[in-house]
Structure 1
Amino acid sequence: MEMSKQSRSEGSEVQTTLVDSALVKFKVDYEEITTHLREVVHSYIFSAGGHMWRITCRSFTVNGPAKCGLCTIVEHLSKSRCSKAIVEAFLMDKEGNPSTSGKQTDLVENYIIDGQITIICSIMVLSDSSIPVPPSDMGKHLGHLLDNTVGTYVSFNIGGKTFHAHRAVLTARSPVFRAELLGSMAEATMPAITLQDPCDPHSLDRLKLTCAQKLCDGLSVDTVAVTLACAQMYNCPELKNKCMDFFAKEENFKKAVLTKSFFQLGLQFPSVIDEIWERDGL
């Protein structure tokens, strides 16, 4: 991939800084691309550092038509301006470990999973500048305002705990909070508000997914049932699917069904238990 750098006047101090990065997983059907020689397979187009990129994988012959190899190319698709980037690509083996190269005889044995090869590509977009700009510290300043309760703020009682927040930030992030805190509703003049279910009623979708990610990271045979109950109760299909996938593994299922939380899940959401039986073919 050709990259260029703008010329600088003599005497200016140039610093290279990281602008943005991306990590992309690209799966290729091995039999399809090696059977039809010179066939090209493209990844989806993705963005990094304000530029558009694409991974291209093509097959080619090695020592005659009986053998073939794979070539991976990272294309810079943006036409507006040049870019400087560090690009690295590697194969993912069956154990989930990276490898920068692999012999053809090793591909089928070590790298093909369900007929596919997984290519991981990382791109770090750089910028040369004689006047480096520090990262934004707006979040730090907003945090100071919150800690010092400077300006108009409101407190929330959630599960017996008190959380402080700024009305302006809340109204910017949630149309429901905007109506409650700036409109004619009773909450507009209340210094403290009690919330039962903060995410769904207040359209805080990103906060909801952040919580779901935390719960997903802690999945185990002891927590999967209660986590699935939360996903069902708060209508989070992303978290529910992760829990169902966890149950789909036989070794996990055999241990999880013996927990007290699984029994409680059946009492609270019997339809979810039916989904587990149906999905796992039990």
Structure 2
Amino acid sequence: MQNTKTMSTWNSGSEQGMGVFHICGYSQHINTAAGEKKKILVSSTFRAGGHHWAIFFRPDGFSDKSVAGIVIASKHVKLRASYELRLVDQSTGLLVSVHKEAPREFQRDKDFHSAISFFRAKRSIFESPTCLRDDCLTMECTVTVIKEPWRTGTKTIPKIQVPQSDMAGHYAKLLEEKVGVDVTFSVGGEEFAAHKVVLATRSPVFKAQLYGPLREAGAVPITIEDMQPDVFRELLHFIYTDSLPPLDYLKADARTDMIRHLLVAADRYGMERLTLMCQSILCENLCVQTVATTFALADQHQCDMLKDACLEFITCSIARDAVQRTQGYRNLKRTCPPDVIEVFEKACRFRKA
């Protein structure tokens, strides 16, 4: 089943802009006479968050001459923003904060026809000796516009396909090409070259034989008794590839015999996985002709699960009499201990009952 991964992102952010407003001749804009319209000083516009902003400064305030009025305005109808107004200390060049507004909604004002924020501040702040020098005043306004959250389009993350492991193929090639072989075995008159470290890694028996205190010294072939060359060849194949060959070159009966021999070899060299694989194959191929022989083999090599499978096959089989007429059954009675034969025959009697 092919899996796909998609990704989308929910974004939120802000954009910031700053306007600097120089006011020269500050004194000319304050203390307006009675009846005279109070002056409003307007900065040039500056951009923040994709909108134009301006500072409206009324030094004389509105109703109280001790208070100045400040309007931060944008021509946008509605938005959310924060801002800070600061004055430049002209003796040090440092900034003095006058007012800081947390994020808020800017709404349209009928007089300004813009989205505005209004606040008042004492004139004494603007007219302090450090900020007002040579009748000039400099203020900075930083506006931060909170952008509307948005979601990016859905993207499909490409899936990187990883091929199946080819390690077994490399080890099979290593065995086939015999590069770096350092041990030779003589089995039934045939010689097989291999790599000690591979054999020792896969089999505790080979490890003890090749690297243990009783290891055989010298370069002469190590002779292996009681094993056919074809069985040893398939054993090496499993050691290097962790898999059994298909054995297609053998007929059905010969394949079963090969699996039995491999089970014996696996038990001999302490290779548990191969032992279980052979048991599984023999279990799947139980029949009247093979069950007695397989039972005897299982008993000899302590394959309890395979023994139980044989007994279960007999108790469920309708051909129990045929089983007792097979050569495998006759061999079982000749080679196995009486108690083992008794277990086998008890299963047959149980079926007859």
TM-score by length of 1: 0.50
Query: Which of 1 and 2 has greater Rg?
Result: 2
With normalisation by structure 2, the TM-score equals 0.40
